[in-house]
Structure 1
Amino acid sequence: MESPITGTAAGVPFTALPPVPSTDNVPAPLIVTWHMLDAPRSDAAFAAALPMNDLPAWRVHLGMPMCGARMVDGSTDAVVELMRKDPLMSYLYPFVRQAFEEFPAALESIRAQLPVDDGPIGVLGGSLGGAVALRVLAESDVPVFAGAVVNAAIRMRSVVDLFPGDYPYDAESEKAVDSLDFLAKADAIAGRAPLLVVSGELDHPGLRADALSLADALGERSELLSIPGLAHPLADEPGIEPAPQLPLAREVDAGLVTWFRRHLADSVISDMR
């Protein structure tokens, strides 16, 4: 396999994996991903956990805010402090908002730097990165041929519930958390692109229930892939540097390759009509 390409796109760090087989600089389709904040918690580590090799498309893994190359002082301490300060309004909500808002410029920069075509893209997100991918589907006008999420933050209230204590919602935080409820936006998502919902059977119960509900709400526009034995993370701690792919991550990866390969083929057929 060719070595990953690293760089920045409009200030966003990325790890890019070329199409397989090589297209010899002929423009190829693009799949963009956003990683988890659990392990793997950087673009490079996510690319190692879910490389989606053997796809005839570029896989460009974008870094989330304050992760990987954007860590403060080379550690996750600053992120942990934001979680402690206010898990929703200092951490979850602004991270998803920033990743979503910086995406259009990053996409334009990727297309300027790499030989990717100008057709619809694929999107993939894991955990909190899943909320970014779902927001791209629900709220952006970027053409998408297919999407996928893995152990995703589908309803942000379910993620807030994972933190200790009762969260003190007020009018502002109620508005913020409701804006990241993608079950409520299922119709918009279904109208944009088919979605693969990957859910570990040992994921947090609330996230697992949301995954099942989203797949059900999307109906024929969705496919559910349950992974027995998979909890929430896809890699071992600390999950910052690339690491060997774990067996359960390999199962997720295989499902993603099958899904995106199918819809890449559908996209080519559609373009020929």
Structure 2
Amino acid sequence: MREAIEGVAAGVPFVALPPADADAPAALLAGWHLMEVPASEQAFAEAVPMAGLRAWRVYLGLPLTGARLPDGGPAELFRLASEDAVLNVFEPVTEQAVAEFPAALAALRDRLPGADGPLGVFGGSAGSLVALEVLARGDVAVEAAAVVSPVARLAPVIGRNERLFDVTYPWSPRSRAVADHYDFVRRAGELTTPLLIVAGEADDAAVREPARALRERLGDRAELVEVAAMAHEFAPGSPEAKHVDAAFTEWFGRRLRG
């Protein structure tokens, strides 16, 4: 059994877990982690390994996190978020991650043996914004997708953070336009790829309700799994992470063939 590979693909840090059958053609799954636990490509790989799939599972590092933290480290990222979470964090992280994905994908296909099968994408929380935007833009052909603790609508999540951190977000015309863009319930018609949505029953209504609304708008293009007792985060090895992993593994195993 080949070991996990850590590296950089077209400037994007990644962790890649090899397929169960090293001698067969493999699908390629690529995804983006949360900014809450599991908050790195390594942690997301540990939490949701999807072992047993005939697919390379690649966990990509988000911009402004991990090895790509801004000068000043986590304190500077926190400052940027406190100043304007939409314009300083959510928008630039999502836009950069989406823009750099095609080149990273090409580099991964070249580097990972046999990774020339169908493509799936996945993401959690902030990483789900990237996955959903990749689907909506259609710059790469994706056969199936999955999101967990999804940001299906950005504006309510900003409200959640206001309650969580006891702050008031300074909405501006520009930030409202960005939040409107990242409203995938409104943009459901742009999402034509089969989509699995996994949400925690104990998550904030700002996440749960848009997740359910997106499922309703997508109809038979989507499935919704709600995990009992799961809030927004899911630590590697926790019962919640195991539920997420099982749901993702079953979904991609059914939807993708190497």
Category of TM-score, reference length = shorter chain: over 0.9
User: SS of the residue aligned with 1:41?
Assistant: coil
Instruction: Report the counterpart of residue 271 of structure 1 in structure 2.
Output: none
Aligned residue pair count: 254
Instruction: Report the counterpart of residue 96 of structure 2 in structure 1.
Output: 98
- 1:51-62 matches, cutoff 5 A: 51-62=49-60
Post-superposition shift, 1:74?
8.9
Post-superposition shift, 1:116?
4.1
Specify the code of the residue in structure 2 equivalent to 1:18.
P
**What runs of 5+ residues in structure 2 fail to find an aligned partner?**
none
1:150 pairs with one of 141, 148, 151: 148
User: SS of the residue aligned with 2:161?
Assistant: coil
Post-superposition shift, 1:188?
1.4
Specify the code of the residue in structure 1 equivalent to 2:182.
L
Percent same amino acid at aligned positions? Answer: 44
Structure 1 residue ranges (4+ consecutive) displaced by more than 6 angstroms after TM superposition: none
Greater mean deviation of Cα atoms: 112-121 or 225-234:
112-121
**What runs of 5+ residues in structure 1 fail to find an aligned partner?**
236-243, 269-273
Instruction: Report the counterpart of residue 168 of structure 1 in structure 2.
Output: 170
Given that 1:120 and 1:142 are in contact with CA atoms closer than 8 Å, whether structure 2 keeps it comes out as no
Instruction: Report the counterpart of residue 190 of structure 2 in structure 1.
Output: 188
Deviation readout 1:189-209 (Å, 9 max, x if unpaired):
0x2x11000000011111010
Mapped pair 1:261 → 2:253: yes
CA distance in structure 2 between the partners assigned to 1:178 and 1:116 by the alignment: 40
CA distance in structure 2 between the partners assigned to 1:22 and 1:41 by the alignment: 29
Instruction: Report the counterpart of residue 86 of structure 2 in structure 1.
Output: 88
Post-superposition shift, 1:2?
4.2
Post-superposition shift, 1:80?
1.0
Deviation readout 1:51-81 (Å, 9 max, x if unpaired):
1100000001000012222234795222211
CA distance in structure 1 between the partners assigned to 2:71 and 2:3 by the alignment: 27
Given that 2:145 and 2:195 are in contact with CA atoms closer than 8 Å, whether structure 1 keeps it comes out as yes
User: SS of the residue aligned with 1:154?
Assistant: coil
- TM (norm. structure 1) is 0.88
Instruction: Report the counterpart of residue 105 of structure 2 in structure 1.
Output: 107
- TM (norm. structure 2) is 0.93
Deviation readout 1:109-141 (Å, 9 max, x if unpaired):
111211244443101000010010000111123
Specify the code of the residue in structure 2 equivalent to 1:11.
G
Mapped pair 1:129 → 2:127: yes
User: SS of the residue aligned with 2:143?
Assistant: strand
Deviation readout 1:232-260 (Å, 9 max, x if unpaired):
0111xxxxxxxx52121001101110000
CA distance in structure 2 between the partners assigned to 1:75 and 1:246 by the alignment: 28
CA distance in structure 2 between the partners assigned to 1:15 and 1:69 by the alignment: 13
CA distance in structure 2 between the partners assigned to 1:2 and 1:202 by the alignment: 37
What is the aligned-residue RMSD (CA, Å)?
1.7
CA distance in structure 2 between the partners assigned to 1:122 and 1:185 by the alignment: 20
Given that 1:82 and 1:91 are in contact with CA atoms closer than 8 Å, whether structure 2 keeps it comes out as yes
